[in-house]
Amino acid sequence: RSLRSNDELSKFFNHDFPKTKYSISIPFFIANKIRKTGLDSKFAIQFLPNEGENSTLGLIDPIGDHAQSPVKQIVHRYKNRVLFFPTQVCPIICRYCFRKNELGVGDDLFRAEFEKSFNYLENHPEIEEIIFSGGDPLVLSNEKLSYYLERFSKLKSIKYIRFHTRVPTTLPSRIDEGLISLLKKFSSIFKKIIIVVHANHSEEFCKVVASKLTKLSALNISLLSQSVLLKGVNDSTEELKSLIETLVENNITPYYLHHPDRVKGAMHFYLTIEEGRKIYSGLRDSISGWALPTYVIDIPEGEGKVNAFNPETYSYSGQLINKKGKKIPHQDFLE
């Protein structure tokens, strides 16, 4: 139940959209919201095709996932935790996505790879947390999610399970009673289950979304947020303040504000680190510290996240310090 082609978009919105090489998927829940907010709204441009996607600027793998992938389903970037990719499918295709050049592969792509992933985890007892990523892990059926969680629960080293998802704001119907029961069950098996809700604009929230988030917040799990600083969407202190206040109202603790990655096909959303630091500085003056997300940037070649804010200067030297204290070149460019 999604719009999946330019023709379907054109008929639904009575408007012609530019053709790009990237897939289209907009659930009707979001498409109807776009009708209300308008095609040029800051909410809508996150999901509608744009001519800027045809630019050749940017990188295929901007954060270096492949450089830190010991087996196909896993990225092991930090000692005590791994990213786990059970699917590359998403309920919605975000036009700024840093994995937009890798999405759309079939849901069962990794079925034969899971035993390799499980063996890797068995052989690395320093890993305490599994972070379900993708794609969007919550597009998987409750049965598949339960299977993975049951298997992971057999590993004594695994204490924490984290899901990074856009489902609560883009496909809230997916948060059904089966999923609620599943989360309730496994929250008593693992030390902590965390759901990181991806949202970039306050208009992504409505009564339907709020009702589903209320059900999640009633469980023994933690709700955090991650957002991306995007040109034309939330690139002002006022927009971010409104988003953060909406998150807090929905019992979500602000967690990460990502500087946009240098993604091929998404550079029209990019803004400089200096611009981002100025916006974040204003946010620090208007949001209480306990509600302030950490402003981060991913270093290329799989080096991981570092703090993007510098209290000494707004300007950017062209280098970032990695986990080992080494300076890594990182170009900051625009179209």
Chain center to CA of 202: 16
State the catalytic residue, choosing from 42, 174, 277, 305.
305
State the catalytic residue, choosing from 33, 77, 174, 277.
77
Structure token pair of residue 335: 């179209």
State the catalytic residue, choosing from 94, 95, 166, 174.
94
Scanning the structure block, which residue is given the tokens 């300076």? 327
State the catalytic residue, choosing from 42, 81, 100, 212.
81
77 touches 299 (CB < 8 A): no
Longest dimension (CA), the chain: 55
| Amino acid in position 275 | E
Specify whether 40 is catalytic. no
State the catalytic residue, choosing from 22, 261, 270, 280.
261
Element (H, E) at 306: strand 304-307
State the catalytic residue, choosing from 96, 97, 162, 255.
97
| Per-residue DSSP letter, 21 | S
State the catalytic residue, choosing from 61, 65, 136, 298.
298
Query: Phi and psi at residue 258, in whole multiples of 5°?
Result: -90, 135
State the catalytic residue, choosing from 61, 65, 90, 162.
90
Distance (Å) of CA 10 to CA 4, 7, 32, 140, 256: 11, 5, 14, 29, 35
Specify whether 256 is catalytic. no
Structure token pair of residue 306: 């570092």
Specify whether 1 is catalytic. no
| Amino acid in position 206 | C
State the catalytic residue, choosing from 99, 162, 166, 231.
99
Specify whether 327 is catalytic. no
Specify whether 261 is catalytic. yes
For residue 131, give the 3-state DSSP assignment: strand
Q: How many CA atoms lie within 13 A of 335 on its CB side?
A: 17
161 touches 189 (CB < 8 A): no
Specify whether 206 is catalytic. no
State the catalytic residue, choosing from 78, 147, 160, 256.
78
- Alpha helices, DSSP H only, in the chain? 6-13, 28-37, 114-122, 142-153, 167-170, 177-187, 207-217, 237-249, 273-284
Specify whether 90 is catalytic. yes
Specify whether 235 is catalytic. no
User: Pseudo-torsion of CA 324, 329, 334, 335, nearest 10°?
Assistant: -120
Specify whether 176 is catalytic. no
Q: Catalytic residue numbers?
A: 77-78, 81, 90, 94, 97, 99, 261, 298, 305
